[in-house]
Amino acid sequence: MSDGEKALIILVVLIIFIAINVLIQRGMSKREFIKRAKQMDTLLDRFRLGNLYKYCSQTTGEIWECGVYKGGSANALAGFGRTLRLFDTFNGMPEVSKYDNFHKKGDFKVERIPNIKDAKIYKGLIPDTFRGLKDCKIGFAHIDVDIYQSVLDCCKFIVPRLEEGGIIIFDDYGFKTCKGAKKAIDEFFGNKIKKLWTRQAIYIKENWNEKIINK
């Protein structure tokens, strides 16, 4: 074997090694993320799921989901292998406020709590289920609770515990059936929120907003 052939073999081995390491570092693909969500029931389409994947991938720290329903997006988020905390009554929505124009008490009740591997599940009303978690450091939160008071309670507890560069995705911001959710978000954040074309909204803590939103 000539020196040139040996050099070529070494080059090929290096390329393969680098490619494998890139794949390992990238972890779960968007396709796999969406597949995991579809394995369980989810009301999110692939574009909204894609945003969860995109922005959660850019964070570290704990992952929180408020509003779990049948567990589709939670199952996808579990694929990141980080601490995952899930919050839901699983008995349907609590009493709604005068700001809520569509949903009613008892909506989204499920027959059984979804089984999400390695997730920490908190059954009950928000913010009661946040008790004992004041020292958590949150990297990413998905808030999908649809109604005014529940959204506001999530914001009040989660935002102070969000890491620098941490991200919150609100699922309900641009939906006509969730005017109470939009009102709560606007009241809490003012102009620090950005609406996405998927009708979700995004908040990124402090100076990271433009850098990550436009990436």
Q: Select the more confidently predicted residue: 197 or 93.
A: 197
Query: Which residue's entry shows tokens 């570092």?
Result: 25
* Nearest C-alpha neighbor of 174 from the set 154, 153, 152, 202: 202
The answer as to whether 11 is a domain residue is no
Supply the DSSP string of 142-206, one letter for each residue.
EE---SHHHHHHHHHHHGGGEEEEEEEEESSTT-GGGHHHHHHHHHHHGGG-EE-TTS-EEEE-G
pLDDT tens digit string along 171-181?
Answer: 989 888 888 88
Q: Does the pTM exceed 0.75? A: yes
The answer as to whether 8 is a domain residue is no
The answer as to whether 43 is a domain residue is yes
Q: Name the domain count of the chain.
A: 1
**Are 6 and 52 in contact, with CB atoms under 8 Å apart?**
no
Confidence band for 108, pLDDT divided at 50, 70 and 90: confident
pLDDT at 6: 59
Give the Cα separation of 50 and 66 in Å (integer): 18
The token pair at 89 is 């009554």
Residue 124 structural domain: 30-213
The answer as to whether 18 is a domain residue is no
pLDDT at 141 exceeding the cut of 90:
yes
Confidence band for 215, pLDDT divided at 50, 70 and 90: very low
pLDDT at 122 exceeding the cut of 90:
yes
The answer as to whether 147 is a domain residue is yes
pLDDT at 203: 95
CA dihedral 70, 71, 72, 78 (to 10 degrees): -170
CATH number for the domain that contains residue 178: 3.40.50.150
Give the Cα separation of 120 and 84 in Å (integer): 6
**Are 137 and 164 in contact, with CB atoms under 8 Å apart?**
no
Q: Select the more confidently predicted residue: 30 or 25.
A: 30
Give the Cα separation of 170 and 200 in Å (integer): 6
**Are 62 and 83 in contact, with CB atoms under 8 Å apart?**
yes
The answer as to whether 144 is a domain residue is yes
The answer as to whether 4 is a domain residue is no
The answer as to whether 152 is a domain residue is yes
